[in-house]
Every structure is written in structure tokens, then in C-alpha cells.
Chains A and B, each alone.
Chain A
Amino acid sequence: MTLSITLTVNGTPHHLALDDMRVTLLDLLRDRLGLTGTKKGCDRGQCGACTVLVDGRRLNACLSLAVQQDGADIVTIEGLAPEGSLHPVQEAFLEHDAFQCGYCTPGQIMSAAGLIAEGADGTDMERIREGMSGNICRCGAYRGIAEAVAEAARKARTEADA
């Protein structure tokens, strides 16, 4: 069977014909649209490396069929900030050296952006760690990651109050 779907990815609408329903959102982003910033780690929803924002909410792209997301608005690491600039979470990751090998980093950053958008976790370190528990870092850069997320959350809150 063939189905046509529409996805807005990083602000650009895509009309895509799917001739195999098995393709996941993750594989479609990487193989069809060439957006390889979203990583394939475990491919089972256990590591968080494939985290993207779907209609503003963080999801594991590996555990969604592309066809399920027909009509959705998707943001990947490539589209988090306008070309040539960094998102506050990206800036904070640099400042706090929140990575070692970098493989989990796009997922960590997208998850942090989603967490901050959810708003409920504030800047409490324990809540940030809990809110980021779906993203595994095998290098163990958790300390820097949590500090970076806290700083980006503080900045987002200050800007919201200003």
C-alpha cells in the first residue's frame, strides 16, 4: 500500500509518499530527509538519542511510525535555532561542557528544550534530573548536562518574567 502524508519539519512542509508503512519517524528524518542530527541509539525507546519535538512535545522518534504523525509539526536538532545561531540550551551545553563523545547530545538538548517548555520542573536539580531520565549518556556527563539544563531553564524563566 502507498499513503501520502504531510509533515512540517523545522518549518518546512513536506508531502511524502510512503510505500512501506513500517518506516519510523526516526528513519524517515534520517534516511529520507537527510536530517542525521537525530540519532539512532537503541531504537527501542530506552536511550532517548532520537528525541524530537512533535507539536511542541518531546517524543522518541524511534517508537512512532512516520504515518502516525501525518499532519504534525516536528522540530529536530537542526531546526531548534535559526541558521547561524544557538538555542539557549545549546549555549548552556557548551558553557557547561555537557558532553563527551556527543552521540546522545542532540537527544539531550531536544529533551531539555521539551522539559523547559513543559514548565513544571522549574530549576530544582532533582526535578531536572528526574525530567531528563529518559536520556541516557554512556559517557556519564550527567553533571554537566543537569547544570546546563538548569541554567537554560533559569534564563527561560528570567526572559518570561521580563
Chain B
Amino acid sequence: MKSFEYLRPETLDEALAALSDPDAASLGGGTNLLDLMKLGVAGPERIVDLARLPGLDRIETLPDGMTRVGALVRNSDLAADPGFAAAFPMVAEALLSGASAQLRNAATVGGNLMQATRCAYFQDPFAACNRRAAGSGCDALGGANRGHAVLGWSPACIAVHPSDFCVPLAALGAEAEIAGPSGTRLVPLAEFHLLPGEEPHRATALEPGEIVLALRLPAAAAGFAGNARYLKLRERTSYAFAVVSAAAALRIEDGTVAAARLALGGVAARPWRCSEAEEALAGKPATAESFAAAASIALSNAAPSGANGYKIVLAERLLARTMAAAAAGTPAEMPALPGSLMDDTGEAAHA
């Protein structure tokens, strides 16, 4: 690991001043950055530890009804917050389906948004990777790429974003609150992570010197709490990244889908909100046929980036199945195996 200078600012102004150095990196829990530094993938000259910034460890309701979650709230604390979990159950389920208890105790909300892809070529300093080293090429193309993207990829990069948490957030229209030298701004979470295009080394909408301050969830998002699920297919039942995952939240009135919020994980460089499928599902009966039709729309532009065509079918089926699970009702208690198909509740989930 390269040596670095360590700063622990006590105020936001101090933090932003410290981050004006282009070779500085901000530190949340450290579960991703420290790993990347050990691998030689990240080598900041200066680490700015945000842990002591005031007021960012809170979950609060703003006067306009928005829920604001500070960037330093731990993943485990957010999932265990009774008010938050009741209002946004699929977000809590996604959080608990990710990583391990130890990692969730360390990982922060801001850090989860900022985490890098787990693409093996990105994590190998000796491999060609346009995301890590601009212009060096992409060894994942033509490499071991069965886990890679089927939506929104480019020949420059086929990596996927690994977050579970961000998938339901994108579906629910959450926004990231960003602070920087020129003030504060809001970015929709579904656009926070950039698609690779020709510049995959730019992973997020953050400009140099900016940090994520908080996450905001619109008041209307809690209106889906009764019918919301996050399901995740992975190569073992716990402690694994998604092969594909899906978040589905429905408002059902008299057997008809009044509104839907849908997103996919593990398929693209960003959590993939399925807006066209949401629109197509609105007004349709809450049936397996409607769910299958909407899921088919969601994957209509998908294309394999390598040996991963199976993910298109898998994602389409999982999305339909997640809608059916959501229609059957949010479980009264968090499933013992969050996000797992091994722990389905109710027959309708198999529709």
C-alpha cells in the first residue's frame, strides 16, 4: 500500500478544503477504499476521513416530508431503524442481503454509493482497464465476463455496479445530496452512477472535490411500503454479490397496479431503473401476465457483452417474480434470508 497523509476534519468546510487536492480521497467506513488500496488499485496521497463531520449520522424527516439519511449512517443502523424499515422495506431488505454483518456495521450510506465495481480486471492492477487507467483497454471484453453488464455497456467498459442498496433507491426516485466547492446540489440516484460511454474512468456524477452528504427519499416513496420486495440471485445464499437482482414496489388498488417502481441490479454500471416497464404496468391487472409483459419491456434493449446472455433471461424472470412477490405483500417480518428465493413467502411469489 502506498503511504498517505491522513486528515480528519471536524467541519464540512475543512473537509471540502482538504478534498480540493486532486490526489485526495474521502473515507467513510473504509471497507471498499482500504481493500482497493491494499490491491494497489487506489493510491491516494491524502485520505480525508469524514467520520467526525457533524450531523451526518442521522435519519430525519424534512419539513416537506422527505426522508433524509446522512452519509455516515451505517448500513446496519439504517436497516434496523424501525421507522425507515417500515416506510421503505425493500431498501432494508436490500441492505440486509448485502455483504456480512461485520461489513454492514462498518459500511456507510455514502460509501455504498461510492463503491467501485467488483470487476476482476478493475481489481487487478496488471490488467487493462479503461475504468482504472483511462485508455488502457478492457481485458473483461473477451475475458471471464459471465458476471458483466447486459445493459448500458460500451466497448470501453462492461463492468457492473455491485450495490444492492442502490437498486431500490433508484426505483423509489431517491436523490443524492452532494456538497462541493460551489455549494450543494441534488442528483437523482438513478443517474448518480455514469454509464461508461467512452469515459468509463468517470464512475459517478461527483465533480472533483465533491462529496455525498446525504440521501433523500421522497415522501411518496413510502406509499409503496405494503407491496415491496428486493430479490437477489447469487452463487451462494448469503454473503455474495448479485448475479442479478430486482426491486419491485407496487401500489395496488382493486387488483389493478396503480403505480409501479422497478429497478434491476447486477446488469449495468448503474442501478437500472425500469421506467418504461413501470409505465407499461400502470393501470394493468396485478397478474403474472402483466408482470411478465412489463419485465420483457425492461430487458428489451439488453445485449450480452460476452458470455453473459443468460443474465438477460435471468433478469427478466427475476423481475417478474419480484413483482409477484411484491403483489403478495411485504412480509410482516424481515425474511430470515433477506432477498433470497430460498425464503419465499407465500404461493403468489411463484406465480
Contacts and interface: CB of A to CB of B under 8 A. Distances in A.
Interface of A: 1, 3, 20-22, 24, 43-45, 48, 51, 57-60, 63-65, 67-68, 70, 111, 114-115, 118, 120, 124, 126-127, 129-135
Contacts, number: 90
Given A24-B34, A68-B30, A134 B103 contact: yes
Contacts of A51: 102
A152 B38 CA distance: 36
Nearest to A3: B6
Contact of B106 (A22, A43, A63): A63
B38 A130 contact: no
Between B27, B35, B106, B337, the greatest number of chain A beta carbons within 10 A of the residue's beta carbon is seen for: B106
A45 B6 contact: no
Interface in B11-37: 27, 29-31, 34-35
B34 A134 contact: no
A134 B30 CA distance: 17
A22 B336 contact: no
B4 A63 contact: no
A21 B102 contact: no
Given A59-B106, A111-B101, A130 B34 contact: no
Nearest to A128: B336
B47 A45 contact: no
Contacts of B105: 57-59, 114
Per DSSP, chain A at the interface is: mixed
Contacts of A67: 6, 8, 49
Interface residues of B, number: 31
Nearest to B342: A126
Nearest to B238: A133
B310 interface: no
A134 B100 contact: yes
B3 A114 contact: no
B6 A60 contact: no
B307 interface: no
Contact of A22 (B3, B99, B102): B3
Contacts of A3: 6
30 contacts: A3-B6, A20-B3, A22-B1, A43-B38, A44-B38, A45-B103, A58-B102, A58-B105, A59-B106, A60-B31, A60-B103, A60-B106, A63-B30, A63-B34, A63-B106, A64-B30, A65-B27, A65-B30, A67-B8, A67-B49, A68-B27, A68-B49, A70-B8, A111-B101, A115-B101, A126-B336, A130-B238, A134-B101, A134-B103, A134-B239
